[in-house]
Amino acid sequence: MYKASCLCKGVEIEIHGPIESIIHCHCSLCRKSSGTAYATNGFIATEAMKIVKGEQLIKSYAFKPGRLRHFCSNCASPLFSSNADLPEKLRLRLGLLDSEIEERPMSHNFITSKANWDNLDADLPRYDTFEPNRLKSNLK
């Protein structure tokens, strides 16, 4: 079982099953809905998801007929997407996960739509916390 929650912890979810077909999606829709260079999504069985807390906080946006993006109405965290053409599956935003998972991403998709500033093969420095030159007064 995996546990997940939104930023404000108002919505808590359990996933009772595997997370399949994990991808980093660079399409413009995922970039805009996540506000980042790409969204990391994985499919779960609809019946495998249990909303433990905050079901009343979950709101939806129909970005295409039959396709809904579900989010926390309190903190605006994207939670999952549903598709009327595939009701047995949900597409989970993996940034919600509080649990470590065994599954791993299999690909970067829609890279022709990627943000022009996103370098997939960047050889950037890596830090355990903030970059060393960030001022403590700017951490908030």
Cβ-proximal residues to 16 (8 Å cutoff; 6+ apart), any chain: 1, 48, 49, 50
Residue 29 counted as domain residue: yes
Mean pLDDT in residue range 39-64: 97
Residue 136 counted as domain residue: no
pLDDT 10s digits, 104-124: 999 999 999 999 999 887 777
Write down the pTM of the prediction: 0.86
Query: Predicted confidence band at 94 (pLDDT cuts at 50, 70, 90)?
Result: very high
Residue 132 counted as domain residue: no
Return d(Cα 18, Cα 113) in angstroms, integer: 29
Residue 89 counted as domain residue: yes
Q: What is the pLDDT of residue 127?
A: 77
What tokens does 52 get?
């433990």
Residue 31 counted as domain residue: yes
